[in-house]
């Protein structure tokens, strides 16, 4: 059974829709700047979506009197674009919504806590009512008119990849006719302080795979794809989702094994599901966070499978590490890579790390003959997910 990708939607620090994201990638226009929509003492760059919550709500034609988590607003913007792009109707077929997030509505919870910690009789409870990760999923599904299956996946940075994998499996087992899957995450103090405590934030613009890399930059956004069985597609699909796998090396709570065992397993198993050999992969959208551990571990796994010949790049110097949304956004990029032959530039790469020995793509390209794209999303605890997007024969 062929699983087709029929709709795309994305919002990030470099664009409010899919076309805006692609144009920024083409022009090497990143989204990094100091935070402007929440207060922090940390002097680090982040990739924020360039609209306030009020502006996002206005764009979405939502009631200005209500309070919405930023995670929910970003997710609705991307999911609505993907649904419209697909041409499907939520009231005429079994449509599921599988969304992922890591922070949920914590941006609002932080506002509540500022008042509550000084006086337990203060604080607006509506600020914590959206704290749970599932709250944004329910809100988006209701706004889209999805009354059937909906669920939330939260496995750190591999969340959206796992949401897409679950959706594909449900389609294969005829449990749904169409599924909108991906993820959404907003920046907030909790995640910024948390990554700072791990000492993996770069105070400068991050440099994935470069010998001088010193850590990651965080970002926010949302990305969703619509999947259907190929024969049910209303419009011409972008590509097929042919392979997917999740593996766990369980090496460390926040780090990957030096040998890249989890990454090796997830990439290898995804190719097995897709019935592909390493030589069939034409481009890898790597996880590429720019931390010393992640890039070395992922590169080690890539060399174990592909040697040193496969083109690859990381987009996280553009959009930051968007956590639970990362593979949602990057799945959109990967589908377009197959459809249009896109290869995305790995910003800020200048010098090869001798421990890695690989050089990523540094220029935007289009029109290449790309048959299969491998897209990686690796999370805390070694929860590693790989997806394969393939050209339609």
Q: Active site residue: 133, 157, 239, 256, which one?
A: 157
Of 188, 206, 256, 287, the catalytic one is 287
Say how many Å lie between the first and final Cα of the chain, rounded: 14
**287 tagged catalytic:** yes
Q: How far apart are CA 271 and CA 274, in angstroms?
A: 5
**256 is an active site residue:** no
Catalytic residue from among 30, 206, 239, 321? 321
Main-chain dihedrals φ then ψ at residue 359, nearest 5 degrees: -120, 125
Catalytic residues: 157, 287, 321
């Amino acid at each position: 059974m062929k699983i087709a990708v029929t709709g795309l939607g994305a919002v990030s620090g470099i664009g409010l829709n899919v076309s805006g994201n692609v144009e920024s990638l083409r022009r090497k226009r990143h989204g990094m700047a100091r935070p402007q929509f929440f207060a922090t003492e940390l002097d680090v760059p982040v990739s924020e979506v360039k609209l306030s919550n009020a502006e996002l709500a206005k764009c979405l034609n939502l009631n200005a009197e209500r309070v919405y988590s930023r995670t929910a607003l970003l997710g609705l913007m991307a999911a609505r674009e993907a649904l419209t792009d697909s041409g499907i109707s939520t009231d005429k077929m079994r449509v599921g919504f599988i969304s992922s997030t890591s922070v949920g509505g914590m941006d609002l919870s932080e506002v509540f806590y500022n008042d509550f910690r000084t006086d337990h009789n203060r604080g607006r409870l509506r600020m914590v009512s959206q704290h749970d990760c599932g709250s944004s999923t329910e809100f988006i599904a209701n706004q889209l008119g999805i009354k059937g299956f909906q669920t939330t996946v939260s496995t750190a940075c591999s969340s959206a990849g796992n949401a897409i994998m679950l959706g594909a499996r449900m389609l294969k087992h005829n449990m749904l006719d169409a599924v909108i899957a991906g993820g959404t995450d907003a920046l907030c103090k909790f995640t910024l302080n948390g990554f700072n405590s791990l000492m993996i934030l770069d105070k400068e613009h991050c440099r994935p795979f470069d010998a001088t890399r010193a850590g990651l930059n965080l970002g926010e956004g949302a990305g969703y794809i619509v999947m259907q069985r190929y024969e049910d597609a209303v419009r011409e699909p972008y590509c097929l989702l042919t392979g997917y796998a999740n593996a766990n090396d369980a090496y460390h709570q926040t780090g990957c094994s030096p040998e890249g065992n989890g990454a090796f397993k997830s990439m290898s198993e995804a190719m097995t599901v897709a019935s592909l050999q390493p030589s069939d992969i034409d481009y890898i959208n790597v996880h590429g966070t720019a931390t010393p551990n992640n890039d070395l571990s992922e590169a080690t796994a890539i060399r174990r499978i592909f040697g040193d010949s496969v083109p690859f790049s990381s987009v996280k110097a553009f959009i930051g590490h968007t956590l639970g949304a990362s593979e949602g956004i990057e799945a959109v990029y990967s589908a377009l890579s197959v459809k249009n032959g896109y290869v995305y530039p790995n910003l800020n790469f200048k010098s090869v790390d001798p421990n890695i020995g690989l050089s990523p793509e540094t220029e935007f390209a289009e029109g290449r003959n790309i048959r299969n794209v491998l897209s990686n999303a690796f999370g805390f605890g070694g929860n590693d997910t790989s997806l394969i997007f393939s050209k339609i024969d």
